[in-house]
């Protein structure tokens, strides 16, 4: 049995936050943000919308497009760093309830921006082992809930959204996910961190006073590591599978910064028209970024069934991962 990438869906909250809006909130300019990051806009969830609401909308679309009934979903894996609840229940359980799916395995994973690729890796293993037949994987984030909108070094980068896919079983090798690689190096854990609120530094008045519940990032250090790690990761997965960058239909990298994507694309000699760019529109949506980009390419009519996608990501932890995936949505 092979695992196949059967569908895609995404959801973006309606309220946009432009660079011009941010100019009124912090000491920044549209020009600075555009030049340094490529970001022009991002979408922000309503106060009453939580991560599970965004995930639910993306999941409904992914289930519909996979042409299966929700009763055929036999596991839900949700990747997020902004769960509905701090400890429990998991956001995957909340989404299962919203979808009306009972008595199946449902759990969250935390791998920051690499979460969707980690979920894909787990789902692939579940399906290939025969343990599950239709795994719903979701990357969903309400990053606006952990962003300090007085900190110009981070608040310009992030947005909210969700993306989802069904990873299903197939006997047809031509539709199989070719390979997924995931990795981590905890020595760089302080590059991206929310210092307060966890068991190391539980929620207290001091945490709130010091704004330790918000995301902090060593942007420059992260940038340099991201370019090298992403490039090496892609080289490895291509070599191990005897695939060249010319064989790829699309390179769909994590959307953190246009300059990172551009540098990796140049190093790997991937033509610009094969590289998905959505960071200008959505900003960095962490675990949702890759499925949102796949969905965008699909809805724009660029991505077709049978196309070979290379996915690549990098995020807090530090974590990273890549995947060679044949898009297998049946129209």
Q: 261 has which bridge partners?
A: none
- Give the Cα separation of 158 and 129 in Å (integer): 37
Q: Which one of residues 16, 23, 28, 195 is an interface residue with ligand ACO (CB under 6 A)? A: 28
Q: How far is the CB of 22 from ligand ACO (least distance, A)?
A: 8
* 192 near ligand ACO, rule: CB under 6 A: yes
- DSSP structural state of residue 17: E
One of 19, 121, 257, 284 is an active-site residue; which one?
Answer: 284
Q: Is the dihedral of CA 48, 156, 316, 253 positive or negative?
A: positive
Nearest by Cα to 325 from 194, 177, 146, 207? 177
266-273 LR contacts (CB < 8 Å, sep 24+): 267/227, 267/231, 268/231, 268/234, 268/235, 269/245, 270/245
Within 10 Å of residue 116's Cβ, how many Cβ atoms? 34
One of 93, 113, 121, 134 is an active-site residue; which one?
Answer: 113
Q: Which one of residues 109, 156, 309, 311 is an interface residue with ligand ACO (CB under 6 A)? A: 156
* 195 near ligand ACO, rule: CB under 6 A: no
* 220 near ligand ACO, rule: CB under 6 A: yes
* 219 near ligand ACO, rule: CB under 6 A: yes
Q: Is the dihedral of CA 177, 12, 286, 198 positive or negative?
A: negative
The yes-or-no answer on residue 254 being catalytic is yes
Binding to ligand ACO (CB under 6 A) within 287-326 occurs at: 314-316
The yes-or-no answer on residue 284 being catalytic is yes
Site string for ligand ACO, 265-284 (x = CB under 6 A): -------------------x
* 101 near ligand ACO, rule: CB under 6 A: no
CA distances from 173 to 5, 163, 185, 323 (A): 12, 25, 33, 16
Of 134 and 313, which has the nearer Cβ to ligand ACO?
Answer: 313
- Give the Cα separation of 135 and 3 in Å (integer): 10
* 229 near ligand ACO, rule: CB under 6 A: no
Q: How far is the CB of 62 from ligand ACO (least distance, A)?
A: 23
Nearest by Cα to 135 from 183, 186, 76, 86? 76
Stretch that binds ligand ACO, among 26-34, 96-104, 238-246, 320-328 (CB under 6 A): 26-34
Please report, as ranges, the residues that interact with ligand ACO according to CB under 6 A: 28, 32-33, 36-37, 112-113, 152-153, 156, 192, 219-220, 222-223, 226, 256-257, 260, 284, 286, 314-316
Active site residues: 113, 254, 284
């Amino acid at each position: 049995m092979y695992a196949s990438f059967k569908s895609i869906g995404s959801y973006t909250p309606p309220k946009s936050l432009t660079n011009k809006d941010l100019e009124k909130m912090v000491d920044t300019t549209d020009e600075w943000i555009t030049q340094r990051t490529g970001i022009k806009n991002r979408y922000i969830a309503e106060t009453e919308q939580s991560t599970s609401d965004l995930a639910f909308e993306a999941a409904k679309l992914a289930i519909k497009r996979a042409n299966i009934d929700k009763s055929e979903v036999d596991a839900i894996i949700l990747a997020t760093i902004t769960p509905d609840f701090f400890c429990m229940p998991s956001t995957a359980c909340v989404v299962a309830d919203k979808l009306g799916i009972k008595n199946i395995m449902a759990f969250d994973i935390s791998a920051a921006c690499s979460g969707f690729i980690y979920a894909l890796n787990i789902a692939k293993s579940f399906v290939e082992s025969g343990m599950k037949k239709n795994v719903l994987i979701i990357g969903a984030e309400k990053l606006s809930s952990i962003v300090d909108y007085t900190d110009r070094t981070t608040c310009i980068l992030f947005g909210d959204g969700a993306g989802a896919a069904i990873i299903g079983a197939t006997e047809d090798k031509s539709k199989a996910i070719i390979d997924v690689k995931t990795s981590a190096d905890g020595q760089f854990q302080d590059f991206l961190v929310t210092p307060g609120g966890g068991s190391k530094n539980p929620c207290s008045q001091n945490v709130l006073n010091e704004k330790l519940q918000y995301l902090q990032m060593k942007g420059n250090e992260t940038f340099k590591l991201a370019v090298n790690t992403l490039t090496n990761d892609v080289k490895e997965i291509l070599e191990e599978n005897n695939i060249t960058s010319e064989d790829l239909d699309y390179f769909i990298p994590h959307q953190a910064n246009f300059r990172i994507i551009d540098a990796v694309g140049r190093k790997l000699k991937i033509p610009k028209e094969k590289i998905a760019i959505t960071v200008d529109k959505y900003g960095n949506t962490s675990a949702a970024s890759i499925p949102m980009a796949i969905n965008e390419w699909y809805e724009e009519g660029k991505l077709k069934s049978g196309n070979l996608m290379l996915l690549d990501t990098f995020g807090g932890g530090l974590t990273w991962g890549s995947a060679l995936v044949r898009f297998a949505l049946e129209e």
